[in-house]
Chain A
Amino acid sequence: MSLDVAAVKAQFPILDQQVYGKRLVYLDNAATTQKPRAVIHAIQSFYEKDNANVHRGVHALSERATAAYEAAREKVRGLLNACSVREVVFVRGTTEAINLVAQSWGMARLRAGDEILITEMEHHSNIVPWQMLCERTGARLRVLPINDAGELCMEQLPSLLNERTKLVGVVHLSNALGTINPVAEIIRQAHAVGARVLVDGAQAAAHMPIDVQQLDCDFYATSAHKMYGPTGIGVLYAKETLLDEMPPYQGGGDMIRMVTFEHTQYNELPYKFEAGTPNIAGAIGFGAAIDWLRGLDMGEIAAHEQNMLQEATRRAKDLPGLRLVGEAKHRATVLSFTMEGIHPHDLGTILDREGVAIRAGHHCAMPVMQRFGVPATVRASLAAYNTLDDLDALFLALEKACAMFA
């Protein structure tokens, strides 16, 4: 069976509109995806029927809100195939998840002289928290380089891993290049030297199945808004043994069991890491997005996006002056490129006026831009609802830009 793209697309009300008198063609899915009606309705229905604070009320609404919030946690557990909901910490998004690990686990575990290994293709959110941690602890940040195709130089990994390596941070699916990294192999090698591994799954969850047990990763971070869910909610998965040892990240309500002025006893997992009133509606929307995705077939989504990406790549190679940035053998959803003689921001503006929404910039991965010697790229990124018509519009607009700058 193949994905019924028209039926999928029909579930996204926002896509049915014109901008500047042109059909909206949304190809900025790596920044954030659009939301299906099921997600919008779940959030609206929560506010219309069940809204109350969680874990603290005795009344009916509070019980319903708590049940819905915890049901969402179970859905996230299922999405990642975590062992237990105790390993599922709701956070604001990938960025907060990584900062939580850096500040809690990192501050407790790292000493001067220890090493953190990340890769040259990381998003700033998987670079800066580690730099901040290194500054505070005296640990050293090391970087696994990438090759001209935009793949990790895996042959250099063994020489960068040693007994001082305490953590490896790696992106599952690169937002700047589309590269799918061999995270299982990285985790195996990192564990062999006793290092923990954090996988940045911000981009991955909407495009491939995730199984944290099979990967055996120690930490996995992702954001709901890149997988058809709302903004402001995401998840940190961490192995229970790690979460148990980690000190809380923020203090406040909900994360405690008992407070006196002399002593505070922390709450059990995962609440120890969820201080304050959480994003309840967000979590419920996240759960609805997972249900929605489960109603489709991830294999069919991936196959559809892969076909589209191959077609886009083929057309891109036919366009004179276009240079692809990122041609990894294992790649998904992202077409990143530059055009000879036209700055990416001019392309962004021209495409926008043709109704085509793409991203032009450094994609929060400035080291990748430096590696490829470009100030910025244009990035078209796909989701389940994109069609060949969308690619037609993209390439027509690119040709128009070329003519305008000729």
Chain B
Amino acid sequence: MASETHSATSAGSATESPFTPEPYVVERRVVETADTVTMVLKPAGGRGVPAFLPGQFNMVYRFGVGEVPISISGDPNRPDELVHTVRSAGKISDALTKTLPGETLGVRGPYGVGWPLQRAEHQDVVIVAGGLGLPPLRPLLYELLAHRDRYERVEIIYGARSPKDLVHYEDVQKWRTRGDLRLQVTVDAAGREWYGDVGLVTARIPDARFDPPRTVAFLCGPEIMMRLTAQALSTLGVPEASIWLSMERNMKCAVGLCGHCQWGPAFVCRDGPVFRYADVKRMFSVREL
């Protein structure tokens, strides 16, 4: 399956043994929301940070607690630091969000295939992020904006549960003021202090400006949101082969050995996490795989 996605191979080589984490020191910790933090990590012992492709993830290990897959949310053109944005969803991720500056985490990776940004050259680009779907898309945006002239119109739609749940808000504000992209932010529900849009990301699509047959779309967020968005874009005429999305499944090895992350015929860690909608559309409607 998804033969095309295999062609987007990992830029960074994983550490020598695929299971040995490298130590990284938390240099900075930014509290994004009540349950989400962004951590800026530096390799211990003066090593470099392996190159990565936007969309790839690392296995991040809190010693004594365990390790979980976390997407890289930093700038691929800043090789001196590794950035992860983590939401407390359970035991391990909660422990990660509580890691303080100066403490050490283990990291192995980067793993998986990234967003195929080169396919969007000379095309309109639509980026749709839901909730914690923005961090895995942020490196893609950095990369895209570093070479803005390669792309036609850029439309970003970012949805979250409430205004309090918006992450990377500084970046969002910066992107908003740029003249070379359009950004719409919407939340599921809000109080009167919010002057922005309220409603699903799909409700913002009609206000986005793009030429559907010449558009490449990148989606990341809750599965229902990606499904509804992909359907809406496809209905407008965006080719299903030009819609890319990032999937999440529980992982153990992250290198295609254990089968823990199996999704239909695919291993999310090896064949994904970025998939082409045309290839995985059928699996979206299957209740349990």
The answer to whether A binds B is: no
Residues in B lying within 8 Å of A, measured CB to CB: none
State the A residues within 8 Å of B (CB).
Answer: none
